[in-house]
Structure 1
Amino acid sequence: MKKLLLVLLLMPFFALAQESYDLIDFSDEFSGKIIVDDNQENSDLETNCTLNIYQKKNGKLVFSKPAFYSEYDFEDSKVKSNIQQIPYGEQSILIYEDFNFDGKEDIALRTGNYSCYGGPSFEIYLADKNGFTYNESFTELGSNYCGMFTVDDEKKQLQTMTKSGCCWHQFSTYVVENNQAVPIEIIEESYSGIFADYSVQKRVNGKMVTSGYQKFAEGNETEFTMVFENGKKMHLMGIYGDEHLGYIFTNADDVVELFIDADFTYIKVNETLTFKNKNTTYIVSEKEIIVKDGGKNYILNKIKETTGSFKKIKWNSFSNVSFK
């Protein structure tokens, strides 16, 4: 009897210590609210509330899990949902969307800040005949990259992004097979000096096949640039702290086709730069590039535009340039 009386006396205290907030409508079928009490906010866990989802037609509780909310989740004393500003913007406590492309909306539940750089992390629950079931494969995508993954309904694909500092990024694309997220392409880019290095893994016949390439990074300052009508480019620029001269030839997508850091010769009388790459000789002027290979000459002179001038280049400032 004394125990029962004690429970009755304490009930108002717990009621006062607990608060609930409705979610702004996110579904025609369901409603939701978060429940916050002192015990959750003061615990060692990152989750600080409970998110409940109810059937609108009968008020039945169909989903209840620990979750994480922050101040920006609130709007007019209600909790926002379906906010997803990728990659670093606001991402709400609940994202209600079809993740596995079966025509049923699923649940992404924010449970803390465990993704890259302390960003939002999500657990994923897929809709099924029994309600919503936790899915480890999708949860990995929602918690181990930079925030929530994105959904491409047209292509039926999922994308993630992650990074480390300024100079390494990874972009991954997945398809869904038997409610598992399966990678079909993973692109890693890293920056080193004047180039961006790319490693590309693509799924071919069930296996990931790796290839790589380099791109001429944006923002490089060149001494001279020649742009051809087909979009290819030739760049002359200082490298290694401007101590060496470098020759970079790229295709229309800025993918590096040839990079030469060798011994160059500048011929003053006709203002040309010459160098060798194995058995091939290159003669570069402001108007054309002559390539001598196997007894044949190839002239690249269909130029769209140029930037810079041979006359203004300080050739003697480069340790790998000699003169004739």
Structure 2
Amino acid sequence: MIGFTTINTFSQTNFIINSFSDKYKGMITLEKGLKNEIIKKGKTTIIDIKTNKEVIEIKSNALHVNIDKCRVTTTNALKLPYADQNIIIYQDFNFDGINDLAILDGAYSCYGSPTYQIYLETKQGLKHSPEFTRLAQEYCGMFKPNYKTKTIHTMIKSGCCRFTDTYFKIINNIPKPFLIVEENPIFNNTEEGSISISPFRKRTKTTWNGNKKSIEITKYINLEEEEITKITSFKLIKNQKQVVVFNVNNRMLYYALIKPNKTIEFSYPIKLSLEKSDFKINKTEDKLTFNNNGATYKIYNTHHQNKIIKIGIIVEINGKTYNLKGDVNSLTGSLKNVKKVKLYNVVNE
């Protein structure tokens, strides 16, 4: 618990912050007339308790000090990496077992997130670290140390759908990235020339092993998204890949084959058309057909006495036929759900 003492002067209000360190105390100085504002301009000063000397002074236009009627003040609770962060964060950032300091200097990172100046504790005292400060300036909010793995995590968000997570190891007191995971939307270019966001997303994973860099690009989908309605799903017996038929916003039908590692091996349609049917459903609603690159795919449900006893996909290509059998015990839904809503890219045979 950080304690406060209030000191009023004619031109400003100071708040002495103690109890966070046995070596240092802090003082927040608010500019005159800003005490009752939610976001306040002022400065934060770090004072050496033993010598009573000021060792750091940081000006800020985004100080958050809550003042209640009893004149007891508190800072917001530490909650990384987003809102409700402290003005002073006293933690071990470089995993040397000694606490360091992060001091709020504004709200200059993405979407007005707080930014910090980072000082590492050394044998010569607190030393400003440009490398750690960059992590607290150029990403969304304060970075997050993981003391179990001795790594640091940062995040960037852009718009509704773009995310980048970067993970750092500390080498010679400098954070070095070893993993970057970027997640981006995939856009559909329709045959009519319009553009829409695909239900699928692209994940780009960049890793470093020493100086060796590798990049892996995969496609995935979150089937729990609100706009997605799962029609039927089952696993193939041979390889445990998941077959999923779903619609988006009750307008367009999609097919996806998902690997056990949750990445997409194949999806259809590749290119949307609002004027052409991608899928055909037969009259008995037990076979869904589509064509892609010279191959015909037929997803089937075989019924007996109103019960589905066989499922799978028949693939016809180059004069050969393959029956990819599914596990009935893994089945959810059925092809009869296809016609429950009017889908633009489905036609009745």
| Aligned counterparts of 2:103 and 2:153: Cα–Cα separation in 1 | 18
Does the alignment pair 1:284 with 2:299?
yes
Unaligned runs of 5+ in 2: 1-7, 186-196, 271-277, 302-309
| 1:62 Cα offset (Å) | 5.5
- Distance across 1 between alignment mates of 2:32 and 2:71: 22
Distance (whole Å) between structure 1 residues aligned to residue 323 and residue 329 of structure 2:
18
Are the counterparts in 1 of residues 28 and 42 from structure 2 also a CA contact under 8 Å? no
Counterpart secondary structure, 1:26: coil
**Percent of aligned pairs with the same amino acid:** 28
For residues 16 and 320 of structure 1, do their structure 2 counterparts lie closer, same or farther at Cα, with a shift above 3 Å needed?
closer
DSSP-derived class of the 2:66 partner: helix
**1:54 positional shift:** 1.6
Going from structure 1 to structure 2, the CA distance change for 1:248 and 1:208 (only over 3 Å counts) comes to same
Q: Provide, for residues 177-228 of structure 1, a one-character-per-residue CA deviation record: whole Å limited to 9, x for no partner.
A: 1222111111111233311221211113324322211111232433522132
Q: Aligned residue for 1:221?
A: 228
Checking the alignment, whether the CA contact within 8 Å between 2:119 and 2:129 is kept in structure 1 is: yes
* Structure 2 equivalent of residue 310 of structure 1: 335
The answer to whether the 8 A contact 2:163-2:182 is kept is: yes
Q: Residue 321 and residue 141 in structure 1: after superposition, are their counterparts in 2 closer, same or farther (change >3 A)?
A: same
Q: Deviations over 1:143-189 (max 9, x none)?
A: 11111000001111000112112211111111111222111111111
Which amino acid counterpart does residue 22 of structure 1 have in structure 2?
A: I
Alpha-carbon displacement from aligned partner over 1:79-137 (angstroms, at most 9, x marks no partner)? 548x4212332111110111111222111010011111111110111111221111111
* Alignment partner, residue 109 of structure 1: 103
Change (3 A) 1:235 1:25: same
| Local SS of the residue matching 2:114 | strand
Q: Is the 8 A contact 1:149 1:159 kept in 2?
A: yes
Distance 1:183 1:137 in 2: 12
- Cα contact 2:28–2:45 (8 A) shared by 1: yes
Could you tell me which residue of structure 2 aligns to residue 259 of structure 1? 267
* Larger helix share, 1 or 2: 1
Change (3 A) 1:60 1:71: closer
Q: TM-score, normalised by structure 2?
A: 0.75
Within 1, Cα distance between the matches of 2:248 and 2:28?
57
TM-score of the aligned structures, taking structure 1 as reference length = 0.80
2:14 equivalent in structure 1: 20
Q: Which amino acid aligns with 2:242?
A: K
What residue identity is the alignment partner of 2:24?
Answer: F
Which stretch shows the higher mean deviation, 86-95 or 280-289? Answer: 280-289
Count of aligned residue pairs for this structure pair: 303
Query: Which of 144, 157, 163 is equivalent to 2:157?
Result: 163
Q: Give the RMSD, CA atoms, in angstroms.
A: 3.3
CA pair 311-18 structure 1, distance change in 2 beyond 3 A: closer
Query: Gapped runs of 5+ residues in structure 1?
Result: 1-13
Change over 3 Å in CA distance of 1:92–1:323 after alignment to 2: closer
